[in-house]
Chain A
Amino acid sequence: MNSVSRCLTGMVTIGAAVWVCSGPAIGAADNPREIIAEAQRRSASMSERYEGILESFDGTDKSSEKRWTMERLGSYGQSKSVIRFTSPAEVKGVALLVVNHPDRASDQWMWTPAIERDRRIAMQDRSTRFFGTDFSFEDLEERDVDQYDYESLAQESVSGVMCWKIKSTPREKKSSQYTSSIVWIRQDNYATLRIDSYIKEQAVRRLNYSDLKNIQGIWTAREMTMSDLRRYTRTRLRLDKIEYNAPLDDSRFTLQALRTP
């Protein structure tokens, strides 16, 4: 789920755990917290750019497809990103500016060219679905490693690759729609392969990472599929033309710039 935030809002590299870590990353394979921290460290980059395709499936049928370009500048907790939708025609030109803060929820604005209006999107109910996809707004947030407790459950093989199976539970002060999450991280390159999110004892969402490729030294999943296990719907995100650490000007990440295609 953490990777999703990077993909949708351009935070960090796909394919690695991206928990915001307050301490140094140590390659201690037996410590679940440090595994998460190391995964985040390996996926860090100063900027990112890609073209994405978001497909929603209602059962087995595809119900919608959207394309966008994404640019991100900055690192964890202080990043800014802009998503510009390019198709279908109904959403072409719609843009989203996300400004993350280390100590509070991100600020988000949306530009709607048809009415030439920007609007502030208030992150009030984080369980709300992100624009009709199977991702919730909470799924897109950057997460502070220190706000969760971790438990190493097992070492399992997923698609023939050995993974650490780690359970993360939000601490009391952390408000979350999920009771807990289970994440599978590859032991060979610290890339995330799967995340199951639970409400009480029921798994409600499953995120699968696939089509991993090393891009500029960062293991990146070029395809992610989020399944809503209660609605029986899924959303697939495919990334193309991924580029890390490209020179991006800070002026591209303002409300004024958002209004200019």
Chain B
Amino acid sequence: MTNLVRLISWNYFRKHAVRTTLTAGGIALGVAVFLGMHVANDTVLAAFAQTVDRIAGKTELQITAGEAGFGEDVLERVQSASTVRVAVPIIEAVADPHIRSEGKLLVLAVDMTGDQSLRDYDFDNSGGSVIDDPLIFLAQPDSLILSKEFANRNGIATGSALRLDTAEGEKTFKVRGLVKSTGLMTAFGGNLAVMDIYAAQKMFGRGRTFDRVEVARKPGVSLAQCRAELERLLGPAFTIQPPSSRTQQFETMLAGYSLIVDVSSAFALFVGLFIIYNSFAIAVTQRRYEIAMLRALGATRRQVRLLFLTESAILGAIGSACGVVLGLLAADAIAGTIASMLGDIYGIAQRAEGSLLSSGLVIASFGVGVGASILAALIPARQADSVDPIIALQKGKHQAFSTRENHVRVTIAACVAAVLLAGRVFARVSVAPVLGLVLTVVAALLLGPLLARGSARLIRPLLKRLRPVEGALAADSLAQSPRRTSATVAALMLSLALVVTFSGIAQATYDSLATWMNTTLNPDLFVMPSPTLDVQSTRFPAQMGPEIAAIPGVKRIQLLRSTRVNFRGSTVMAVAIEMTSVAETDLRQPVQGQRDSMYRVAAAGDGLFVSENLARLQHLAVGDTLELAAPYGTIRLPIVAVVLDYSDQQGAIFLDRQQYIKYWHDDSVNVFRVYARDGANVPDVRQAIIERYAGVRQVFVLTNGEVKSYVVGVLGQWFNLTTVQVILGVVVAILGILNTMTVSIADRRREFGILRAVGGFRGQVRRTVWLEAVSISAIATVLGCVLGGLALYYALHVVRENAGMVLEYHFPFAVALGLTPLILASGFVAAIWPAEAGVRGSVVEALEYE
């Protein structure tokens, strides 16, 4: 086999260097995306886990009650537990230090009087100044401790000033201690600042609450005993878990994102697989004489099959190796993007720095690349070993599918279609959306060659009318070479289908979001403690409400408090609103429930709303009693309405503000929704609010348009990741056209020679090739749009089942229409070089070919 590879395969690779490179490039791209995305994903998760782990120190249990935190009394209850040795409170906030290239700083607010029992603060006292002095640290609310590495990097010393954004505006803090960059201080990539927790309450508008309490048990007490006692002491609203469980929660929150990573990686590999299949299918066609000769010389079918599989394995290995390198190079950038995106969407404190390289993942990626390559070459290899040496000399015959093969394909496709139809008719939706999606793609691939040939025949009259000679030749070539054509068509079709599907989902999401924003987000101004909606670490005191209401031009204000809480094991958003006021401004119609009464009942504290996605995910409906454990009691209220809402992917619970205050002991505010008086100039009102709090409090006043743009922007981040990959997929598919046309030219050198010998012009040959390429693009575009339309239908159901979001089906005509000329033009461009190759050389040589 080694000799065969050296004598035959190596020569073939060298002779077709461009195609070989493209083939290896296809698999390289697939492996690069697979590895890059997974390394980036692992890096971000590891960065979060590392931050959690390093901050945790000797903490054995963490007590939380959702994002809102809880009152200081909880700490005393925990400290009173007989199994607890140490219990210390924590507040975490992310602040901007206004240092270029440093990004955000994670502020860890602790009570230094007890915290050193849990965390090691390796103070650097080489400076000899006032450091390691807890009393000054506690007495001065502007005290900050930084890691030495961060300080050195930015020319900061003990006593230096550092400006941070706080609820009270940009404040100057004084660095009163530097800690060696080990353990704790390496969390969050070293961008960690420690401050006093009671100062942080004031600086970040937390009232008298803590984010969590961290616990170490007494010697001789088991973790289970300690946990059981605390659970008894605190009740069901509190989550008591080891620090490592925060990483699991993080992973759960990222389930949606991880799905995108998996789908994107699978798609990239699928495209690579098709490129390999395409190349080898073409190679088998092109090398039929070579195969026949080998067989005539005594090579067995097995040897021929093995030769092709070995070639695919070699190409797969080369491509995979390149893919691994590319993937690792890209991983850093992807990780940075993902980290930033997750920070924006979830406000989660983590900082990915440097890729987490796992040898297992590298080996797996390499293996997946080689495996996919071999898998893709299986069918061509089987076709190669079944080449009859005699028939192989009859040009063209081998390229057609046998009648039996066609029957098998049609039968299987018909069965698949029947399953899908039955699912649609009898189960109203489908057997299962994911299965439906897969079956649709399988059916399309099975029918691909038939559809490609049928389409070619269908467009023959059109092509012939357009260019009588060239059009007919191009159409006949397509119809007579279904293997060569169908692989390219299938690759392009799949890529386009994916574009259509993603675009459709994106469009449906944007449309639904627009509907929600137009009916719900209708205040003129939003007063927020940060320029982004996701930052929950800084909040306003309720006392600001009357102050803003008194500003000239303000007609109405609504206080909104939103926080993530635990509900049936999921993290959902609890949204506290002033029901009576919102009833007069909210334009949305409930999906379930009576609009006339729902606000009145909820305002009276006799009911609450849930978002449609929460209702679907948790199987809730109007009339059900919702039970939500809060720090100061369990809420048991009937659901009076199900509303369209996209506040959170896991769903949202809406309750009256008074209920929230009662059960959370928290009257802080995330956002003041401001409605201007009729005739009032909104920019003037905005300016008046800004001036009212200038120098007193950090206030960001966003207009309605700005908030909506922000929401759309955040959504865009989700789709941007996939868009890049889809574009790559389309590019690779277009390269497939180049590949196909190159082979087509090689196959038809004699045909073109004859054409030119009987008086055909070089221009006619060129046009034949161009028409063939454009026809392939056109057929693939039509089939891709049809498949995309079907896939979109199932994909929307997948979204409905997994995310609970009901998105309306709208075929993305604009995208399809925009892509069509692009794909046709790309097909044409891809054919330019092969066409030139077709007309190059002498007619005599062409006639002697084969």
Contact = CB atoms under 8 A, between A and B. Distances in A.
Nearest to B84: A124
Contacts of B138: 94, 110, 112, 131
A90 B128 contact: no
A113 to B, nearest CB: 8
B353 interface: no
B820 interface: no
Nearest to B197: A119
B136 A122 contact: no
A66 B139 contact: no
A110 B130 CA distance: 21
A91 B128 CA distance: 19
B207 to A, nearest CB: 12
Interface stretch (B90-98, B110-118, B328-336): B110-118
A132 B125 CA distance: 12
A122 B113 contact: yes
A58 interface: yes
A121 B114 CA distance: 8
A125 B114 contact: yes
B134 A132 contact: yes
A124 B128 contact: no
A86 to B, nearest CB: 12
A254 interface: no
A115 interface: yes
Interface of B: 75-76, 79, 85-88, 111, 113-114, 116-117, 125, 128-130, 132-136, 138-141, 198-199, 201-202
B128 A66 contact: no
A90 B198 contact: no
Given A63-B130, A115-B199, A124-B117, A132 B139 contact: no
B113 A121 contact: yes
6 tightest A-B contacts by CB? A125-B117, A131-B135, A132-B133, A124-B86, A90-B136, A91-B139
B176 to A, nearest CB: 9
Most buried by B among A58, A64, A132: A132
B129 to A, nearest CB: 8
A119 B139 contact: no
B128 A63 contact: yes
Contacts of A132: 132-135
Interface in A80-134: 85, 88, 90-91, 93-94, 110, 112-115, 117, 119-122, 124-125, 128-129, 131-132
Given A121-B114, A132-B134, 9 more contacts: A94-B138, A110-B138, A114-B141, A115-B202, A117-B198, A122-B114, A124-B114, A125-B114, A131-B135
Contact of A66 (B88, B135, B201): B135
B136 A91 contact: yes
A119 B198 contact: yes
A129 B138 CA distance: 14
Contacts, number: 76
Contacts of A129: 134
Interface residues of A, number: 27
Contacts of B129: 63
A21 B88 CA distance: 34
Contact of A124 (B79, B141, B201): B79
A63 B135 CA distance: 14
A217 B159 CA distance: 47
A55 to B, nearest CB: 13
B499 to A, nearest CB: 56
Nearest to B138: A112
Contacts of B125: 58
A11 B86 CA distance: 26
A58 B132 CA distance: 11
Interface in A57-80: 58, 61, 63-64, 66
A94 B139 contact: yes
A128 B114 contact: yes
Contacts of B136: 88, 90-91
A223 B723 CA distance: 75
A216 B67 CA distance: 58
B140 A114 contact: yes
Contacts of A112: 138-139, 141, 198
Nearest to A112: B139
A128 B198 contact: no
A198 B458 CA distance: 98
Most buried by B among A63, A113, A120, A125: A125
A23 B632 CA distance: 47
Contacts of A110: 113, 138
13 contacts: A58-B125, A64-B133, A88-B136, A114-B139, A115-B199, A117-B202, A119-B113, A122-B114, A124-B88, A125-B117, A128-B113, A129-B134, A132-B132
